[in-house]
Amino acid sequence: MGAFSKKVALYIRVSTDAQFEEGYSVDAQKEKLEQYCKLKDIKNFEFFIDGGWSGSNIDRPEMKRMIEEITEGKICAVVVYKLDRLSRSQKDTIFLLEDVFNPNKCDFISLNENFDTTTPYGKAMIGILSVFAQLERENIRDRTRMGMYERVKAGLWMGGGRVPFGYDYDKNKDILIPNKHAEDVRQIYDLYLQGYSTTQLANMFDVANDKHITNILDRITYLGKIQFRGEIIEGQHEAIIDEETWNRVQIERQKRSTKNAITSSYLLTGLIYCGKCGARMRYQRWGKKGLKIYCYSQQTSKMNLVKDPDCDNMRIDACDLEDIVIKSLFDFTKNITSVGKTIDIKSSAISVLQQKYDTIAAKIKRLYNLYAKSEDELLLETIEENKDELIKISKALENEKKTSNVALEINEKHEIIKNLKNAWESMSMMEKQHALRLCIDRIEIADNVIDIKYNF
């Protein structure tokens, strides 16, 4: 290894569940690493200690600091008690060796395995060990998955992780139990069917964001079933949503997805419905140049879209319908633009909260570093207090972001409505379709009666 003109990094990692395990505690690792430095007559060394961090990845504060100092040329060697203290991931181990240590002329020594990358043997054996460690983890994972599949086949829940909103996990019975949020789930389904958007629902309930609402609406778990590896299995847990409601929501999800995904060159595609049978209506070419709007129930080639095979709704000229809708839209939005106001988005509030969040997060990191060195119980109390404060700020920050997102959505609608009539002729087909979908929920046609339902 040669003389150490730069400092040597003594890296220690202890996971949360092994802090007091014999041979793995911070003190035990420090003692062995200090003995090594005495034996090698290394005077210039520094400890880098990640206490309470998993080895599944390298996203750890002291690991990041050590990598930064290696790339700055401040460290000539990294010494660990055991290879898995560096990382339990083959990918990360190879990354550190090949992309961090070697390019920056930084040696790596693992005491337990007696490996030293200054020798060809050490380099080869570390790679081999990493491969076999990864292989063993994959074997364990496969065995775990097989056991999990047997549990799920029996209708039991997969485990305590990622429990769906509205349920708690009963470890004794291995099933899900509805909790106080079960009623929230029912309300989310009901309100969605009433026309509320996922963004609106996210602001009404104690959930992370609109994507969380989407996950709730798509989860078949609420039917008392379990989805595992593409299979739907009858679970032993109580259903929160009845099958009819769940199916209606899935149909509505598909309808809204179809409406928002603009793939047609026709202006009103996805918005028009039969006022007699409730089926969708579509454009159909009529002669060489003409276009008609007619009910899908009158087209037997797509039986899944038929609502009433005997529907006698008349066909309407597409150009006439588009003219009527556009005129109605201009007249309707003219009354709105006079009272519409742009909502002020308080980006400064988000900046202040984000700054507070970053400051406290950095403070917690420093406190953990101090605790790793002194193990002072008073520091743990301070850490918990700061964690509670961080959670409060995080919630406030999330609420501000939600408010801003809603404001942006409203402002977008307002700007489109305000300039709609003047800009219409210069807008592309896609822009016109987008504007219509922002303003109109659906258009129902029953013979010569046209009912346009607006979103506001």
Strand partners, 175: 170
For residue 1, being part of any structural domain is answered with no
For residue 90, being part of any structural domain is answered with yes
CATH code of the domain containing 251: 3.90.1750.20
Distance CA 456, CA 261 (A): 21
Q: Using alpha carbons only, what angle is made at residue 389 by residues 385 and 391, rounded to the nearest 5 degrees?
A: 115
For residue 268, being part of any structural domain is answered with no
Identity at 42, one-letter amino acid code: I
For residue 415, being part of any structural domain is answered with no
pLDDT at 342: 45
Q: Give Cα separations from 435 to 41, 143, 267, 421 (angstroms).
A: 74, 53, 10, 11
List % helix, strand, coil for the chain (3-state, nearest 5).
Answer: 55, 15, 30
- Three-state DSSP at 455 gives coil
Q: Which of 122, 138, 154 is the last residue of a domain?
A: 138
N residues, the chain? 456
Q: The domain containing residue 218 runs over which residues?
A: 167-259
Residue 53: phi and psi, rounded to 5, are -120, 140
408 Cβ neighbours under 8 A, 6+ residues apart:
345
> Widest CA span of the chain, in angstroms?
96
pLDDT at 322: 93
CATH code of the domain containing 79: 3.40.50.1390
Tokens 């007559």 map to which residue? 41
- Answer yes or no: do 114 and 197 share one domain: no
239 Cβ neighbours under 8 A, 6+ residues apart:
222, 223, 224
Kindly list the catalytic residues.
15
pLDDT at 137: 62
Fill in the DSSP letter of residue 230: T
Tally of domains in the chain: 2
- Answer yes or no: do 133 and 21 share one domain: yes
Fill in the DSSP letter of residue 304: G
For residue 247, being part of any structural domain is answered with yes
For residue 286, being part of any structural domain is answered with no
- Answer yes or no: do 13 and 133 share one domain: yes
421 Cβ neighbours under 8 A, 6+ residues apart:
330, 333, 334
Q: Which of 96, 119, 138 is the last residue of a domain?
A: 138
- Answer yes or no: do 133 and 177 share one domain: no
Q: Which of 237, 259, 281 is the last residue of a domain?
A: 259
Distance CA 68, CA 74 (A): 9
- Answer yes or no: do 114 and 58 share one domain: yes
- Three-state DSSP at 195 gives coil
- Three-state DSSP at 261 gives coil
- Answer yes or no: do 132 and 177 share one domain: no
- Answer yes or no: do 16 and 131 share one domain: yes
For residue 289, being part of any structural domain is answered with no
Q: Produce one character per residue of 349-358: b if its CB has 16 or more CB atoms within 10 Å, e if not.
A: bbeebeebbe
What tens-digit pLDDT sequence spans the chain (456 residues)? 444 468 999 999 987 655 545 457 888 899 999 999 999 899 999 999 988 888 888 889 999 999 999 999 999 999 999 888 888 877 788 788 878 998 898 999 988 877 788 777 776 766 676 666 566 666 656 555 555 667 777 778 876 557 899 999 888 888 889 999 999 999 999 888 877 778 878 888 888 788 899 999 999 999 988 887 777 888 888 999 998 899 989 888 876 665 555 555 788 988 999 999 999 999 988 877 688 999 999 887 778 788 999 999 999 999 999 999 999 988 877 765 544 444 444 445 566 677 778 888 888 888 777 777 777 777 777 888 888 888 888 777 776 665 555 555 555 556 666 667 777 887 778 778 877 887 888 999 999 899 999 877
- Answer yes or no: do 251 and 209 share one domain: yes
- Answer yes or no: do 74 and 188 share one domain: no
Fill in the DSSP letter of residue 280: B
Distance CA 126, CA 83 (A): 8
- Answer yes or no: do 129 and 12 share one domain: yes
362 Cβ neighbours under 8 A, 6+ residues apart:
none
pLDDT at 311: 94
Q: Which of 171, 179, 227 is nearest to 206 (CA)?
A: 179
Q: Which of 82, 94, 78 is nearest to 134 (CA)?
A: 94
Token readout for 165 is: 């909103």
Identity at 13, one-letter amino acid code: R
pLDDT at 49: 92
- Answer yes or no: do 232 and 173 share one domain: yes
Fill in the DSSP letter of residue 237: S
- Answer yes or no: do 181 and 224 share one domain: yes
For residue 104, being part of any structural domain is answered with yes
Q: Are 120 and 96 in contact (CB under 8 A)?
A: no
Q: Are 1 and 118 in contact (CB under 8 A)?
A: yes
How many CB atoms lie under 10 A from the CB of residue 380? 13
Gyration radius (Cα) of the chain, Å:
31
